[in-house]
Homo-oligomer: A and B are copies of this chain.
Amino acid sequence: MKDIIVQKFGGTSVADTDKIKNVARAVIKEKNNGNNVVVVVSAMGHTTDVLVKLAKEITPNPSLREMDMLLSTGEGVSIALLAMALQAQGCNAVSMNAMQVGIITEKIHSKARILEIKTEKIQEHLDKGEVVVIAGFQGVTDDFEITTLGRGGSDTSAVALAGALKAKRCDIYTDVEGVYTTDPRIVPRATRLEQISYDEMIELANGGAGVIHPRAVEAATQHNMPVRVRSSFKLDNLGTLILGVDEMELQRPVTGVAADTSRLRVVVCDVIDNPGTAAALFDGLANENISVDMIIQSYARKALNTNDIAFTINKEDLTKTKEVISGLKQELGYSNIYIDDKIAKVSIVGAGMINRPGIAAKMFRTLANIGINIKMISTSEVKISCLVDESKANEAVETLHSVFGLDSDEIAEVKGDLPNV
């Protein structure tokens, strides 16, 4: 039995027919290594944007079901073209959409989760020596409705397929050379990591490193599937291997530094300090599907029986958040709401920090030494995050990267924007 390798190529890697021919070469190279190959592709380049624009011309509020029908056509184009390119290069190949494979999801449009993947048909094609090219991002319900998986969907499709097929590895091809200790656009001496653990990768991804979507890393964790993030333009570069912490060859106290400027801080001032007020607030936000990140509740001012509750949200959720808080005016009894949208969350991530108590102190001291004020702090087992002024974010990242010994001897080569996942 040959090993199965699942390869995933994103929209930028299949943006035009020349790039699709390049992808075919990368697929054939892997097949020539003696493996069975399953390829997952996204829609070409800006296809999704074009389709969304058409829908908006029709109506500002298209139904999610019809949006999924519309958007799923994008991958139909890229899988067919890649199968043709493989055949033109002498490699037997066949394209399959999610309905043909049986990538079964929840009955939720625009952000369904995968429930089950049927592998029989894929296996039949592999047994005939064919490369199977599968549409990422899309799924189908058990009553034959087309769904899509939402952001990071194609990465998740690839990792879930690798898990279902018991693949040896899932390779996520992208236009960067792997996962770096920090964003090379900010710190040119960022170091490419050879290995990183699932937990570290999730924290770095949530912290703004857009190489792979956190949902896909969560799927990899579930299946304990090794995932390699690598360049679709430099095929000899092995990129970064994401794997279980137990399988890592080396654990560093700090693996990476990230800055996230996508969020803003909301401070609800002078909230009545009763049991249940915080619960009422965060229940209300959760009901509106608003994801809350750092939370700080100040010590109650005994005399006034009030405190302040501060938290961070995605910038795009601001309007909904204000509505929720206004709706709870009676229960919370707050004086006013203060919005701070010029903030950045700077995080250090490392699976090894749990056993090294001095890491947090070293981070705070480093920021203090360069005059950066810390507005909020949050920690997890593998991450310490500090909220700072947005204008100080790059300086904080650079200094932390250097202080924690992550600077490379070489300058990283950076091509354009980081890829969308």
Q: Which residues of A contact B (CB under 8 A)?
A: 17, 20-21, 51, 54-55, 57-59, 61-63, 65-67, 69-70, 72-74, 76-77, 79-81, 83-85, 87-88, 94-95, 97, 99-100, 121, 144-146
- Give the distance in Å from the alpha carbon of A65 to the alpha carbon of B54 in the complex: 28
Question: Does A73 lie within 8 Å of B77, measured CB to CB?
Answer: yes
- Give the distance in Å from the alpha carbon of A76 to the alpha carbon of B66 in the complex: 10
Q: Which one, B21, B62, B79, B81, contacts A84 given CB within 8 A?
A: B62
Question: Does B72 lie within 8 Å of A84, measured CB to CB?
Answer: no
Query: Other than the known A69-B79, A69-B97, A121-B144, what 8 A-B pairs have Cβ atoms closer than 8 Å?
Result: A20-B58, A21-B58, A58-B84, A59-B84, A62-B84, A66-B87, A67-B80, A100-B145
Question: Does A76 lie within 8 Å of B72, measured CB to CB?
Answer: yes
Task: State how many angstroms separate the Cβ of A62 from the closest Cβ of chain B.
Answer: 5
Question: Does B72 lie within 8 Å of A59, measured CB to CB?
Answer: no
Question: Does A81 lie within 8 Å of B70, measured CB to CB?
Answer: yes
Q: Which one, B54, B57, B81, contacts A54 given CB within 8 A?
A: B81
Question: Does A73 lie within 8 Å of B70, measured CB to CB?
Answer: no
Q: Which residues of B contact A85 (CB under 8 A)?
A: 58-59
Question: Does A59 lie within 8 Å of B87, measured CB to CB?
Answer: yes
Task: State how many angstroms separate the Cβ of A59 from the closest Cβ of chain B.
Answer: 4
- Give the distance in Å from the alpha carbon of A225 to the alpha carbon of B99 in the complex: 33
Question: Does A84 lie within 8 Å of B99, measured CB to CB?
Answer: no
- Give the distance in Å from the alpha carbon of A69 to the alpha carbon of B69 in the complex: 15
Closest to A44 in B: B54
Q: Which residues of B contact A88 (CB under 8 A)?
A: 58-59, 61-62
Task: State how many angstroms separate the Cβ of A128 from the closest Cβ of chain B.
Answer: 14
On whether A81 and B55 interact (CB within 8 A), knowing A69-B95, A76-B76, the answer reads yes
Question: Does B100 lie within 8 Å of A84, measured CB to CB?
Answer: no
Q: Which residues of B contact A61 (CB under 8 A)?
A: 88
Question: Does B87 lie within 8 Å of A17, measured CB to CB?
Answer: no
- Give the distance in Å from the alpha carbon of A81 to the alpha carbon of B70 in the complex: 7
Task: State how many angstroms separate the Cβ of A63 from the closest Cβ of chain B.
Answer: 6
Question: Does A144 lie within 8 Å of B100, measured CB to CB?
Answer: yes
Question: Does A70 lie within 8 Å of B77, measured CB to CB?
Answer: yes
Q: Which residues of B contact A63 (CB under 8 A)?
A: 83-84, 87
Q: Which residues of B contact A95 (CB under 8 A)?
A: 66, 69
The 9 lowest CB-CB distance pairs between A and B, nearest first, are A59-B88, A70-B80, A73-B76, A17-B57, A69-B80, A73-B73, A62-B84, A66-B80, A58-B84
Q: Which one, B54, B76, B99, contacts A70 given CB within 8 A?
A: B76
Question: Does B73 lie within 8 Å of A58, measured CB to CB?
Answer: no
- Give the distance in Å from the alpha carbon of A145 to the alpha carbon of B87 in the complex: 18
Q: Which residues of B contact A83 (CB under 8 A)?
A: 63, 66, 69
